[in-house]
Amino acid sequence: MIRYPIRMTACASAVLLLAACGSSGSESTASGGGGGELRTFTYEDTVSDEILAPYKKGNPGVDVRTATFESLDEAAAKLKSGFSTDVIEVCLDEAKPLLENDLLAPIDKSKLSNWNSLAETFRDANGVTVDGKVIMVPVSSGPHGIIYSTKDFPHGVDSYGALFDPANKGKVALDGGWLTALADTALASGIKDPIAMTDAQVGEMKDKIIAALKDGQFRTISQSDSDQANLFKSGEIVLADGGRGTAEQINSEDGSVTWVAPKEGTLSWVCGLGISAEAANTDAAYAFINDYIGTATQAVVGDLGYVITNPAALPEVSEEFRKGADPAEVKGTIPQVEPENAEVWRSAWQEIEVGG
């Protein structure tokens, strides 16, 4: 999801125009999900104890079994190999492997009492509905920019170019998402619409990243939000591209970092939950998803530094995080949607991962 990753917004336009929408309210806790076992397959932070608490409180008869992944490519491969789940996280810029392999069941909106409480722009975002069928329920969103150590950069950082500045050599982590890493490199290189890069431009960004890795510019490629947070806390890095929620996580654990929207532009993501085509406990799955877009869980999501998708929960978000949780916070950002030449991007990233 609340990911990272990196996690991802999609709209039909080139620029995301999100605005807080009014709502008639929503149920704060799901119930009626029956009992038995519920299996989830998500990014790690999506099933943290804090976020799971409202669902578990309202559904004590359900045994929640969580499993996590680091990318939807990985998730799709495991599901194709026979791994089973009821609920699966879906990020709009990573959904293709799930769709190509028919791994998602259509969502029946009538089983989600909180569906109409979602901000309309999230409900109608490009990628939520495919071929007339809803394939995921948006749960969280967020901007993706720069995270830096406040101590090491007392005057701040305002550009993706800092990731490639030789002055920061060996103290930088590059985000491990294929889209975000290549897009951020494009922004650092002066490309204003990275999602529309040509095949040749993707190749140039690939070469730039590989050269930086070989030169020792990057300490590492971070594999998850938690990995990135640990790198900052250990002092191994002082600068990275990443989400605002990751910065909040670091600071909540006695770190001292600042998240900033770079001057070149800010990417944004939308992630949510879908139901596996092989789901065994669909009643519990719908109750789980309904809870995640209810006000109680959405308030927790907001307090963790993410943009919420149900504006009815804003009054329940702590004052400290309320402004950042407002859907209007991602207005004017660059939506992370799957590029038309996504396979070129994926191939380039595979070359980067194996060292060129």
pLDDT digits (tens, 9 = 90+) for 339-356: 999 999 999 999 999 985
Interatomic CA distance for residues 20 and 310, integer angstroms: 9
For residue 34, pLDDT beyond 90: no
Sign, CA dihedral 71-73-79-82, equals negative
Parallel/antiparallel/unpaired status of strands 334-335 and 87-91: unpaired
Best CATH choice for the domain 36-141+268-335 from the list 3.50.50.60, 2.60.40.1180, 3.40.50.2020, 3.40.190.10: 3.40.190.10
Q: Residue 163's closest CA among 144, 179, 142, 147?
A: 147
Q: Residue 144's closest CA among 181, 91, 94?
A: 181
Q: Residue 143's closest CA among 115, 183, 170, 173?
A: 183
| pLDDT given for residue 9 in this prediction | 31
From residue 86, alpha-carbon distances to 103, 105, 147, 166, 274 in Å are 11, 10, 34, 47, 9
| pLDDT given for residue 164 in this prediction | 98
Interatomic CA distance for residues 275 and 140, integer angstroms: 17
**8 A C-beta contact, residue 104 and residue 276:** yes
Each residue's pLDDT tens digit, 128-153: 999 999 999 999 999 999 999 999 99
Class of residue 283 by CB neighbours under 10 A (exposed 0-12, middle 13-18, buried 19+):
middle
Each residue's pLDDT tens digit, 56-112: 999 999 999 999 998 898 999 999 999 999 999 999 988 999 999 999 999 999 999
State the residue for tokens 């990751």.
Answer: 246
| pLDDT given for residue 337 in this prediction | 84
Provide the residue ranges of all domains of the chain, joining segments of one domain with +: 36-141+268-335, 143-265+339-353
Mean pLDDT for 202-229 is: 94
CATH class of 143-265+339-353: alpha beta
Q: Do domains 36-141+268-335 and 143-265+339-353 have the same CATH topology?
A: yes
Q: Which residue has the higher pLDDT, 197 or 328?
A: 197
